[in-house]
A and B are shown apart, each in its own frame.
Chain A
Amino acid sequence: MAGRNLLSIFCNGAPGRYNEMTTMKAATQFDTLRERRETQQDLVAVAMSGGVDSSTVAALLQQQGRSVVGLTMQLWNQRRLPMLQGDGPAQHRCCSLDDVYDAKAVARHLNFPHYVVNFEEQFESRVVRPFVEHYLAGRTPIACTNCNTDVKFEPLLRMARQIGAERLATGHYARIRRNEATGRRELLRARDETKDQSYFLWGLTQEQLSRSEFPLGELSKGEVRTLARRANLPVAEKPDSMELCFVPNGDYVQFIHAYSRERGTPLSEAGGEIVNEDGEVIGRHNGVHNFTIGQRKGLGFAAGKPLYVLSIDPQTNRVVVGEDEALRRRSFEVESLNWVSIAPPPVPLRASVKIRHKHDPAPASVEPIGQNRMRITFDTPQRAITPGQAAVFYDGDRVLAGAWIR
């Protein structure tokens, strides 16, 4: 498989010493190879976080004879909200200097130009502030999707092009394929399903996809680590980052409090009632941002049967709870639809719909109900359909479209 061939290009010793035949054979594993051959001297920008994935991307592209420039985004000022930094190892902190130094160390090791670029303002206005506002409105946002759609593949891609790179490569686990029949770029799930990140990439336009490369889409995480080791990357053994990057200690509730305080709108009055399905008050909560649909832990009171959050009403500041069975629903609405691998089809459409990162896509029908809005109806009820999360429509490996759950 692809990964094995790619591994082989590192087996011939020092970087740059492997023979070209092997390189080309390895590269044929990528769907976009033909284009690559034509633009081999062209500059490709690599979005480098300082982690093993994006560092390996840079190594792979360079091994293919591409001219690489590394860009590391400064997204969040670590001096802000210092109480949230915790005392864990520095590499788990957002935009920590260690990560920047790691990215620079990789660039030095592979000897290509690298720059740190400041997108703090865009990150705050397009990712952090909406994240907090959604939670306060009783929704459960996905910051990574906004970051991809509105930061990485928007201002960062634009900057890549402005500095002379036609394309931007990232360490995402997903694949892009050009459909010769339709002329569209298709977004596909990663070969390694456990690492697949296509769920977070549904917001990309055709233009963005045509200028993006995900070289890890064919590889497993294990293969990426092996490649990193063979290339002697200084980050080869660096642990994966798990948390949301700007909430390094994982405590997003604490983050929302600190951020709101910093903005001069502390959440002292955020408390409200917990009610059952009949509207009876059975407890109190200290802010809707503490809850997500389907949550059991942290309801703050004991009940005879396990109770789960069924819905959150920001208007009345109420959290509705009930038994597990009541969490299962068939039908829901989505907005801000983006068609990815296919043009808007004659509907209704059948698709496998995934409603959160860790959800197994389930068969559903999809019908339009207005401008960029759809109604999705699962064949069988699904648990905890959560406003603020994304519904992504798949056909096998292909991402057909995605939208936000209302």
Chain B
Amino acid sequence: MKRVYLDYNATTSVEPEVLEAMLPYFSAEFGNASSIHTFGQRARAAVETAREQVAGLIGARAQEIFFTSGGTESDNHAIFGIVSSPFTSANSSTSARPHIITSLVEHEAVLNACQALAKQGVAVTYLHVDQDGSIDPQDLEAALRKETVLISIMHANNELGTVQPLEEIGRVAKQADVYFHSDAVQSAGKIPIDVNQFQLDLLSLSGHKLYAPKGIGALYVRGSTRLKQLLYGGHHQRGVRPGTENVAGIVGLGKAAEIARHSLANDAKRLSALRDQLEHGLLNRVPHSRINGARAVRTPNTANLVFPGVEGEALLIALDLKGLACSTGAACSSGAVEPSHVLTAIGLPTEEARASLRFSLGRHTTQADIDFALQVIPAVVEQLRQLSPTYQKEAAAKT
């Protein structure tokens, strides 16, 4: 069966060049990057090259890049590492609880880390977003307290593609002298990132969202940042993140970052054209369909549409059985679909949040893929609506 993949925000395939760069580090170049001998030195050289490559993608210095197991660890390290840092509590007034500002549309890695801290007595403000998923920097300013120790706002939203105004947020954070972290897992490789322009102190990256393998990620930590370590072990990565380096994974992430730096502009141009074509095609062919987050600045590859009268879960399965892979909401541990907190936060009523589907394009998406999607989706939506009692009732009421 022909299968078309429009779920690049979930994960990407490892780029052949990336795989090729990684392969020697599984066998011939198997050294431990901490070893003193030549085997170790060769692995070390590869790791340090990758650090430079990753730094290059986000305008950082190589020594500010720490490799992690992925986006979730990077987010957790940034949040727990700042809030539980002894320096943080010393800075804030003696007895007051530290305060974090984040948003309602963050990834679970950020939200659940904040909730865990809230249970330990940390105060957390969740900024609301407008109907397109953007936060208002004025809300951020208003939420600041003298106890605020961290602002964590994602760069691009995974479900909508909405890009947050990091430059303005960075200005507010700088002025208030508060650490600023951004989960850039969904923007890295898709839109330009400059940690200095955004005045970021911490930034999370994930390999498998930018054509590197799963299980590798990075955390950018600005040189002066007082960050408590999360894991205890050896002296790897200057003790900030102990554990024998995942050399092959690190090499892959470095190579992928280098490719992304060069191909970003072209990819963005090509993908936004295909994405717009998909959106316009669906709006034209599926009655009553709408784009979620349409007015926001968005990543070029993400389309999120609501198809009223349809159960997104059924639509997702029906499309998968026809060979089209896309996504809806967030999967819970059993794999069932849960209502999306992001779509709820932009004010969609539950039934419309449930009727929404995300299509995310990537480097290997072709015109033929979009043609296939435009051919399959309208027919399947129609088939579902035929069997939807509520849609039929509403349709009957309108005629």
Q: Please report A residues at the B interface, Cβ cutoff 8 Å.
A: 43, 69, 72, 74, 95, 97, 100, 104, 113, 115-118, 120, 158-159, 161-164
Contacts and interface: CB of A to CB of B under 8 A. Distances in A.
Chain B interface: which size bin? 20 to 34
A162 B320 contact: no
Nearest to B385: A162
Nearest to A95: B334
Nearest to B331: A116
Interface of B: 311, 313-315, 317-318, 320-322, 332-338, 383-384, 387-389
Given A162-B384, A162-B387, A115 B317 contact: yes
A104 B335 CA distance: 10
Given A69-B317, A113-B321, A115-B317, 18 more contacts: A43-B321, A72-B334, A100-B335, A104-B335, A113-B320, A116-B334, A116-B335, A117-B313, A117-B317, A118-B336, A118-B337, A158-B388, A159-B317, A162-B311, A162-B318, A163-B314, A163-B317, A164-B322
Nearest to B334: A100
Contact of B313 (A69, A104, A159): A159
A167 B2 CA distance: 25
Given A159-B311, A159-B313, A115 B383 contact: no
B355 to A, nearest CB: 12
Contacts of B336: 74, 116-118, 120
A162 B321 contact: no
Contacts of B332: 74, 118
B334 A162 contact: no
A69 B314 CA distance: 13
A69 B321 contact: yes
Nearest to A160: B314
B318 A163 contact: yes
Most chain A beta-carbon contacts within 10 A, residue among B315, B320, B332, B336: B336
Contacts of B384: 162
A236 B389 CA distance: 39
B322 to A, nearest CB: 8
Contacts of B387: 158, 161-162
A74 B334 contact: yes
A73 to B, nearest CB: 8
B382 to A, nearest CB: 11
Contacts of A164: 318, 321-322, 383
A164 B384 CA distance: 9
A51 to B, nearest CB: 16
Contact of A163 (B321, B334, B337): B321
Nearest to A99: B334
A124 to B, nearest CB: 14
A209 B270 CA distance: 51
